[in-house]
Structure 1
Amino acid sequence: MSNSTAQPDPKHADPTAERADRMKRLSIIPIWNTSGVAEEMGYKARGHVWRWRDLHAEFEEAVKTSLAGPGTERRILLFENPGMPRSAAATPTLNGALQMILPGEVAPAHRHTYSALRFILSGSGAFTVVDGTRADMHELDLLLTPGGCWHSHAHNGGTEPMVWFDALDTPFVSYMRADCFEMHPSKSLEPYTNTVGSYEDIGALGMLQGRTRAQPPASPQLVYKWAAAEAMIQAGLDRDDDDPYEGVVYEYVNPITGGHVMPTIACHVNGFRKGFHSKARRRTSSSLCVVAKGSGATIIDGVKHEWSERDVIAEPAWSWCEYIAYEKSILFRTSDQPILEPFGLARQEDHPNGRQ
């Protein structure tokens, strides 16, 4: 009896497998149908909710077990879209994350080509420094860190941790091979000579400082106060100024140009009155939404995703989205819309039946 392993009969080899191996060697992907390259490669971003209660529990556990205890410089939970495995990205163009800093800690100064923002979720007593200007962190304020600016964070007041939502255009910048990262020579907190007070009111009352005439690519207003945003949403609700697709919506803008706050990232707030149920709309831009107030659900391509305060929702590009508010609710929305506009790629479409 022979002990040799039987070899496959070449006459009966699987032609599909042979073709797949051949095309892999040739570094090509066959597209014989209309399913699309993104779906074939497994990079179809999905609607998803990262829940505050789960993420905050992970922070607490990590600190308690010293995995991310005192002295840890980078205490960050990076979002990965479940439809984009091994991407370390929330959408194809945006990173989303939660970051925590404990009392007495300093996150060393650095700069990079990525544009970033912080939307403060909880805590008090911390501040950030951006190119020599200090900005204190307060709950639900929006803080900008334009690409190329030195920045660092410190927590020198209060006894509770500070947690904020980060959004960055890292996937887009990396795809363009424009990455650049540099640590500050101080290896610690960036020195600062002024505070953000001079910027908070840079566009107040429709007026600008006489010397402010440059056309900066990013907004020079580093802090956008939550109280002002919430007041505008409430005024819109009081006027019954609801859009059937968006609720009451306002954009954070560059006060010099009236454009988006950063060249690659736009920021909006959407307000919904209790019981609001929007019509469905889809856009070529992708978004990450933070639930600032209230509770409700977003229906994304027919799947209902419920959310509550401090949760983060991924809305993939060209996905039908409609909103339901269980109570008065406000979403903070960041998107990649500015990347698309210069190329005529920004598009939206309303659902022909109103809802999915």
Structure 2
Amino acid sequence: MQDTQDTKDTGRFESLGRLEDLPQSYRDELTAQNLAPLWPSLRAMLPPHVPARRTETTHWAYRSLRPLLLKAGELTPIEKAERRVLVLANPGHGIDKMQASPAIYLGMQLLLPGEKAPAHRHTPNAVRMVVEGTGAWTLVDGEKCPMNRGDLILTPSGMWHEHGHDGADPVIWLDVLDIPLVYYMETSYHVEGPHQEAQAGQGAKAYARGGVVPTTVFQRSGKRYPMLCYPWADTRAALLSLAEDQPDTGAVQVTYVNPETGRDAENILGFYALMLRPGQSLRLAARSPAQVLHQIEGQTDVDVDGKAFALLEADTAVVPGYTAVELRNRSELEPAFIFMADESPLHRKLGVYETR
């Protein structure tokens, strides 16, 4: 039945008129009035069964990227860069577009000891996944979030944030933003601001354990984002506990959520942590959103439609939507942990989310 339908669609595609079939004089008249005929481009806009995708499966090896990022630290002082970042650009979209997928921007950011990145706020939502180093911090809306490997820190749309480093070694983190979407909508901008003063209280401590909340404050905080920092130590412990409690569960995965509402941690992109048991192989079903894979601990063999590569520690990859992913933990003794980001919240809001 599917082959028959594909044949019908191909026949319809071939029967549609081409732009070249129209007289040049008619085409010139359309152009002069900012008009365009739909039918020559109809199948490009609405292809049969599977969307047209520019996103390519792409793998960035941290061992290759890191020296270039450190070199950037030598070549460009923070005062000249403001945010010293190497963008992980998907070749399918073009290096100049600086995007990893239709709605996801990825960047590796470096902060050296003693440096400070000034306060600003912007319309795109952002998160930071800490890759290496200690001693740095992010100040978000007055909350000081220490940065340790594997921690996830939110900087939602419109919130003031800045970075500082009081430690002795370089700190590097992965930025994940929804810039491509916000820029496409012509709503992307930033505003510079003064240094913030750190305030008492941390959502990560108030909501440190599932099932218990502070009695005196749980009347809803009134904050859109009551928790800004998700420490890796807590997330890792949750995954190990889940794996022990549900030994027959295939995908040991948790979702980063707003602890007061249970909804996604941010509005446009979704964030998750996945654990592979020792020696485990796992198939992630084909879904409409593109997704990012970042190896926090361990090593994972990845196969995407026959394109195979190894995710070593701190490596990052992006996979297009409507594409299944095969994962295998290389270790027979230790679990592997992967941070994931995708466009699921956006797809659900638009009503186009699907799993195949």
In the superposition, the TM-score normalised over structure 1's length comes to: 0.82
Shift of the 17–255 alpha-carbon distance from structure 1 to 2, 3 Å rule, reads closer
Aligned to 1:344: 351
Aligned to 1:229: 235
Aligned to 1:94: 104
- Provide Cα deviations, 1:93-127, integer angstroms capped at 9, x if missing partner: 01111101111111010001111111111111111
Aligned to 2:137: 127
- Provide Cα deviations, 1:272-306, integer angstroms capped at 9, x if missing partner: 12222223511112211210111122211231132
State the distance in 2 between where 1:260 and 1:32 align.
Answer: 35
State the distance in 1 between where 2:181 and 2:236 align.
Answer: 31
Structure 2 residue identity aligned to 1:238: E
- Taking the TM superposition and a 5 Å limit, the aligned residue runs for 1:210-225 are 210-214=216-220, 218-225=224-231
Aligned to 1:282, the other structure's residue is in SS state coil
Aligned to 1:201: 206
Aligned to 1:46: 56
Aligned to 1:83: 92
Aligned to 1:60: 70
Shift of the 33–199 alpha-carbon distance from structure 1 to 2, 3 Å rule, reads closer
Percentage of pairs with the same residue: 27
- Provide Cα deviations, 1:23-59, integer angstroms capped at 9, x if missing partner: 9956567337579679xx9961011111111110101
Shift of the 144–50 alpha-carbon distance from structure 1 to 2, 3 Å rule, reads same
**Does 2:298 correspond to 1:291?**
no
In the superposition, the TM-score normalised over structure 2's length comes to: 0.82
Which of 251, 255, 262 matches 2:259?
255
Which of 102, 116, 121 matches 1:111?
121
State the distance in 1 between where 2:169 and 2:87 align.
Answer: 22
Q: CA RMSD in A?
A: 2.9
Structure 1 residue identity aligned to 2:177: L
Deviates more, 1:75-84 or 1:271-280: 271-280
State the distance in 2 between where 1:54 and 1:216 align.
Answer: 44
**Does 2:148 correspond to 1:144?**
no
State the distance in 2 between where 1:52 and 1:297 align.
Answer: 15
The structure that is helix-richer by fraction is 2
Shift of the 209–262 alpha-carbon distance from structure 1 to 2, 3 Å rule, reads farther
Shift of the 141–242 alpha-carbon distance from structure 1 to 2, 3 Å rule, reads farther
Aligned to 1:305, the other structure's residue is in SS state strand
Shift of the 74–344 alpha-carbon distance from structure 1 to 2, 3 Å rule, reads same
Q: Gaps (5+ residues) in structure 2?
A: 1-17
**Does 2:344 correspond to 1:334?**
no
Shift of the 87–242 alpha-carbon distance from structure 1 to 2, 3 Å rule, reads farther
State the distance in 2 between where 1:150 and 1:333 align.
Answer: 25
State the distance in 1 between where 2:53 and 2:222 align.
Answer: 34
Aligned to 1:256, the other structure's residue is in SS state coil
Aligned to 1:177: 186
Structure 1 residue identity aligned to 2:101: T
State the distance in 2 between where 1:201 and 1:262 align.
Answer: 19
Structure 2 residue identity aligned to 1:343: L
State the distance in 2 between where 1:217 and 1:345 align.
Answer: 29
Aligned to 1:311: 315
State the distance in 1 between where 2:205 and 2:156 align.
Answer: 16
Aligned to 2:83: 74
State the distance in 1 between where 2:64 and 2:218 align.
Answer: 44
**Does 2:196 correspond to 1:190?**
yes
Structure 1 residue identity aligned to 2:339: F
Cα distance, 1:235 vs structure 2: 2.3
Aligned to 2:286, the other structure's residue is in SS state strand
How many residues are paired up? 324
Structure 1 residue identity aligned to 2:138: T
State the distance in 2 between where 1:257 and 1:203 align.
Answer: 15
Structure 1 residue identity aligned to 2:239: I
Deviates more, 1:86-95 or 1:215-224: 215-224
Aligned to 1:103, the other structure's residue is in SS state coil
Cα distance, 1:241 vs structure 2: 3.3
Aligned to 1:172, the other structure's residue is in SS state helix
Cα distance, 1:201 vs structure 2: 2.3
